Amino acid sequence: MNNKEIKILLIDDDEDDYVVTRDLLSEAKNLKHTLHWISSYEEAVGKICENMYDVYLLDYRLGAHTGLDILQKASCRGCRTPFILLTGEGDHETDLKAMKAGAADYLVKGEISAPLLERSIRYAIERKRSEERIYHMAFYDSLTSLPNRILFQDRLRLTIANADRHRHMSAVLFLDIDNFKRINDTFGHFMGDKLLKNIAERLSAIMRKCDSVTRNVPDLFARLGGDEFTVLLNVINEAADAARVAQRIIDAVSSPFKLDGYEIFITSSIGIAVFPEDGEDVDSLLKNADAAMYNAKDRGKNNYQYYKQYMNAAAFERLTLENELRKALERDELLLYYQPQINANIGAITGMEALIRWRQSDGKIILPSKFIALAEETGIIIPISEWVLKTACKQNKAWQEEGFKTIPVSVNMSSLQFQQKEFIKILSGILHESGLRPQDLILELTESTIMQKTETAFALLHELAEMGVRITIDDFGTGYSSLSYLKRFPIHAIKIDRSFVRDITTDPDDAAIVRAIISMAHSLRLKIIAEGVETEAQLEFLSKQGCDVIQGYLFSHPLPPEEISKLLQAEKQGGGISIFEFLKKEALNNG
């Protein structure tokens, strides 16, 4: 044991006993210590939970009370300092009672020697320390040192019992960091972990800043796992108290974090469930706060929402969707639509993007925005992605064999798929089986997919380039990467995100950004595709800036393969007239 000074508190109503104990302790030469003495039960009750001492020596007889009363009080209050009980005479029954009440040891006055006392104190402290370590591992999160799910649930149970007895309200807040995956993807898990630690520290600081007037201070912060945190408010006077705490947390999280020279901006979404209205037990309060958090996400993130009854219906829907999605592949419910990409200068179709659709048994078509994220969360994206690649390659080969001109197909990649070890092997297999040449396939990756584990991505992209498969950066401008950095990777083209294209004719900032992206991409000899082009004015702006390829509703929505066949046929027969004219005529005919 190290030789740190041990702080001992003697609780004994007899001054003679104090003198004896003091002398014994001073004989114990190896025990560096300080000894304080208090003599009354009342004083002891006030002191026991202050956490100022390493060990208590406790007299069994304390006036009208016994040492056992103190032990009970201490254990109720969660006191974690060891007690050694001192009694007048050896008695097996008292010994047993003392141990049951949580005493670390039991010594008979008059039979105590200096070495015995020293050993008892050392053992009590050492045992407490190892208990403490185990306790910490079991109830605290190792990354952030915040309480974990088990401890949170336990405290919530106590809170509910108390609130029930005293007829007051309590609240649970469920917090989730918005787009946290993107941080991990962009900067790696090491940074992600660092950020979580920083978030935990910031949240704990809120807790320490005790606002004694309104008492709107969280009573417990816990990390449930991942980027999910929970907050417990033992007593609130009105539901709005919980909202005030939620807003304080949201504000705290949203000021930038400085990590390794980066300034990282994040936001959070919080769901609130109030006892007793929103749930009367641990599970329903947590579940409902979670549902409310999802609602906050749906409402644009960076906000808090109270739980409302209908939200469980939404959670149920998500679960149903997941189950249905698992079966979608085997039931053959997935489809690929294709959206033509048009050369901005000559008006010809130069490519097409494969976009997945899900036709459910009732005929309803579900868009990827409704299920891709879920597929990624659940891993179902892996078999789905493989199906998409296979189908797109086969279809493209079929069009070539029907005698249409050869144009490449672009396929969206999930980052999960990109992380698959066997990805290159799977892809080669698919190309081989379909007979499609690698140069007829383009993979669309987002910035974050590439920035994640940059070393692996680097190697993988080079392997793809060697095979002859091309890479386009999708949704460019929404991530954290710079174009010059991306240029280190073998990339063929970049796609300007729809959100910039949308406002180029009205928002001068977006116009400037798009102009800068185009000129920079050209200087790096990258092709530029604009997605989401819906108006003539946008087309004109983009053409003027030298954008190479245009994709959007202005020319065509994503279409089923039969419709694409018609388009290709029309273009083939049209000879001279550009596909622009053809599509515009079609659009007019269709009203």
User: Which parts of this chain interact with Mg ion (CB under 5 A)?
Assistant: 412, 444, 474-475
CB-nearer residue toward Mg ion: 230 or 412:
412
Q: State yes or no: residue 372 binds ligand C2E (CB under 6 A).
A: yes
Residue 410: CB minimum distance to Mg ion, A? 7
Binding mask 425-444 for ligand C2E (x = CB under 6 A): -------------------x
Dist CA 409 CA 442 (whole Å): 6
CB-nearer residue toward ligand C2E: 285 or 413:
413
DSSP 452-509: TTHHHHHHHHHHHHHHT-EEEEEEETSSS--HHHHTTS---EEEE-HHHHHTTTT-HH
Other C-beta atoms lying within 10 Å of the C-beta of residue 584: 14
Residue 359: half-sphere exposure toward Cβ, Cα within 13 Å = 8
Q: State yes or no: residue 475 binds ligand C2E (CB under 6 A).
A: yes
Q: State yes or no: residue 391 binds ligand C2E (CB under 6 A).
A: no
Residue 534: CB minimum distance to ligand C2E, A? 4
Q: Residue 259 — φ and ψ, nearest 5°?
A: -135, 125
Structure token pair of residue 147: 């309480």
- The identity of residue 183, as a single letter, is I
Q: State yes or no: residue 340 binds ligand C2E (CB under 6 A).
A: no
Go through 27-60 and write b for each residue having 16 or more CB atoms within 10 A of its CB, e for each that does not: ebeebebebebbbebeebbebbeeeebbbbbbbb
Residue 414: CB minimum distance to Mg ion, A? 11
CB-nearer residue toward ligand C2E: 48 or 583:
583
- The identity of residue 205, as a single letter, is A
Helix H segments across 364-407?
A: 372-378, 381-401
Q: State yes or no: residue 12 binds ligand C2E (CB under 6 A).
A: no
Helix H segments across 40-80?
A: 41-47, 67-76
Residue 487: CB minimum distance to ligand C2E, A? 21
For residue 558, the partner it binds in ligand C2E, Mg ion, none, with Cβ less than 5 to 8 A by kind, is ligand C2E
Q: State yes or no: residue 388 binds ligand C2E (CB under 6 A).
A: yes
For residue 395, the partner it binds in Mg ion, ligand C2E, none, with Cβ less than 5 to 8 A by kind, is none
Dist CA 464 CA 472 (whole Å): 12
For residue 369, the partner it binds in ligand C2E, Mg ion, none, with Cβ less than 5 to 8 A by kind, is ligand C2E
- Residues ≥6 apart with Cβ < 8 Å to 376: 414, 415, 416
DSSP 215-266: ----SEEEEEETTEEEEEEEEESSHHHHHHHHHHHHHHHHSPEEETTEEE--
Rg (the chain; Cα; Å): 34
Q: What number of chain residues touch ligand C2E (CB under 6 A)?
A: 23
Q: State yes or no: residue 553 binds ligand C2E (CB under 6 A).
A: yes
Structure token pair of residue 53: 């001492």
Applying CB under 6 A, among 102, 188, 368, 429 the residue interacting with ligand C2E is: 368
Residue 517: CB minimum distance to Mg ion, A? 14
Residue 367: CB minimum distance to ligand C2E, A? 4
For residue 120, the partner it binds in ligand C2E, Mg ion, none, with Cβ less than 5 to 8 A by kind, is none
Q: State yes or no: residue 339 binds ligand C2E (CB under 6 A).
A: yes
Q: State yes or no: residue 355 binds ligand C2E (CB under 6 A).
A: yes
Residue 495: CB minimum distance to Mg ion, A? 6
CB-nearer residue toward Mg ion: 434 or 551:
551
Helix (H) or strand (E) holding 584: helix 579-589
Residue 276: CB minimum distance to ligand C2E, A? 42
Among 126, 121, 128, CA closest to 102:
128
For residue 368, the partner it binds in ligand C2E, Mg ion, none, with Cβ less than 5 to 8 A by kind, is ligand C2E
CB-nearer residue toward ligand C2E: 355 or 521:
355
Which residues partner with 257 through β-bridges? 264
Relative to beta strand 409-412, strand 441-446 is parallel
For residue 372, the partner it binds in ligand C2E, Mg ion, none, with Cβ less than 5 to 8 A by kind, is ligand C2E
Dist CA 286 CA 541 (whole Å): 51
Helix (H) or strand (E) holding 169: strand 169-177
- Residues ≥6 apart with Cβ < 8 Å to 56: 8, 9, 10, 11, 48, 81, 82, 83, 84
Residue, CB closest to ligand C2E: 552
Applying CB under 6 A, among 414, 449, 472, 545 the residue interacting with ligand C2E is: 414
Contacting range for ligand C2E; rule: CB under 6 A; set: 130-138, 273-281, 363-371, 582-590: 363-371
Residue 446: CB minimum distance to Mg ion, A? 8
Q: Are 571 and 565 in contact (CB under 8 A)?
A: no
CB-nearer residue toward ligand C2E: 67 or 532:
532
Applying CB under 6 A, among 54, 59, 386, 474 the residue interacting with ligand C2E is: 474
Binding mask 532-551 for ligand C2E (x = CB under 6 A): xxx----------------x
Q: Residue 260 — φ and ψ, nearest 5°?
A: 50, 45
Applying CB under 6 A, among 412, 448, 472, 545 the residue interacting with ligand C2E is: 412
Dist CA 586 CA 581 (whole Å): 9
Name which of residues 38 to 57 contact ligand C2E (CB under 6 A): none
Name which of residues 507 to 536 contact ligand C2E (CB under 6 A): 531-534
Relative to beta strand 470-476, strand 441-446 is parallel
Structure token pair of residue 221: 């912060």
Contacting range for ligand C2E; rule: CB under 6 A; set: 50-58, 157-165, 171-179, 368-376: 368-376
CB-nearer residue toward ligand C2E: 290 or 474:
474
Residue 523: CB minimum distance to ligand C2E, A? 24
**Given the rule CB under 6 A, which residues bind ligand C2E?**
339, 355-356, 367-369, 372, 385, 388, 412, 414, 444, 474-475, 498, 531-534, 551-553, 558
